[in-house]
Amino acid sequence: MKLNWNLKKFEALTPYELYNIMWLRNEVFVVEQNCVYQDADYKDQKGWHLMGVDEEDRLMAYVRLLPVGVSYENEPSIGRVVTSPAARGTGVGRELMQIAIQQCKELFGNTDIKIGAQFYLFKFYSSLGFEQTSEIYLEDNIEHIEMIRNCEKE
């Protein structure tokens, strides 16, 4: 699947882009995963938003990049990683994360990156260089772990 990638600060998002981001996050995190939680957490305004859209301008993949001090005290983070059900199995999720890692380096320097990952995606994130740094914990009744991608291992 060929996507066009765009990275924007919150203030630069159009209303159309913001609507599509919130729609996709709700489609997957709230409806598909059957998890009622407050997705809008006041962190979006502090971050960068990476969007992958298809030829028909549909949002197929998304992630937000947050600087040090927003989610974690000592590392920038990649979060709200989501792919549309229509894009799954195409390699878009891996491409999304590879671009997100590169963008983190460009935005925040060559530093470690921390994520709060759903535990069932452990192998996926491990394959991208992330290592587990916490025990399993429940967040919104879903098993999660913290993981760090060490910048010195590249």
CATH code, 55 = 3.40.630.30
**Domain-embedded: residue 106:** yes
Question: Chain-wide mean pLDDT for the chain?
Answer: 95
Q: Is residue 133 part of a domain?
A: no
Q: Which residues contact 135 (CB under 8 A, 6 or more apart)?
A: 145
Which helix (H) or strand (E) segment is 130 a member of? strand 130-132
Query: Distance between CA 112 and CA 139 in Å, rounded?
Result: 23
**128 located within any domain:** no
- Residue 12 inside a domain? The answer is yes
What's the pLDDT at 96?
Answer: 98
Give the pLDDT confidence score for residue 124 in this predicted structure.
97
Structural domain total, the chain: 1
pTM of the model: 0.94
89 domain-assigned = yes
Under a CB-based contact definition with an 8 Å cutoff, are residues 21 and 7 in contact?
Answer: no
CA distances from 59 to 70, 105, 122, 139, 152 (A): 25, 24, 25, 26, 33
| pLDDT reading at 71 higher than 90 | yes
Contact 139, 118 (CB under 8 A): no
Average pLDDT of the residues in 26-41: 88
User: Residue 93 is part of which domain span?
Assistant: 4-110
User: What are the C-alpha distances in Å from 129 to residues 41, 134, 147?
Assistant: 27, 16, 9
How far is residue 136's CA from residue 120's CA, in Å, rounded to a whole number?
11
Residue 49: inside a domain? yes
Residue 131 forms part of a structural domain? no
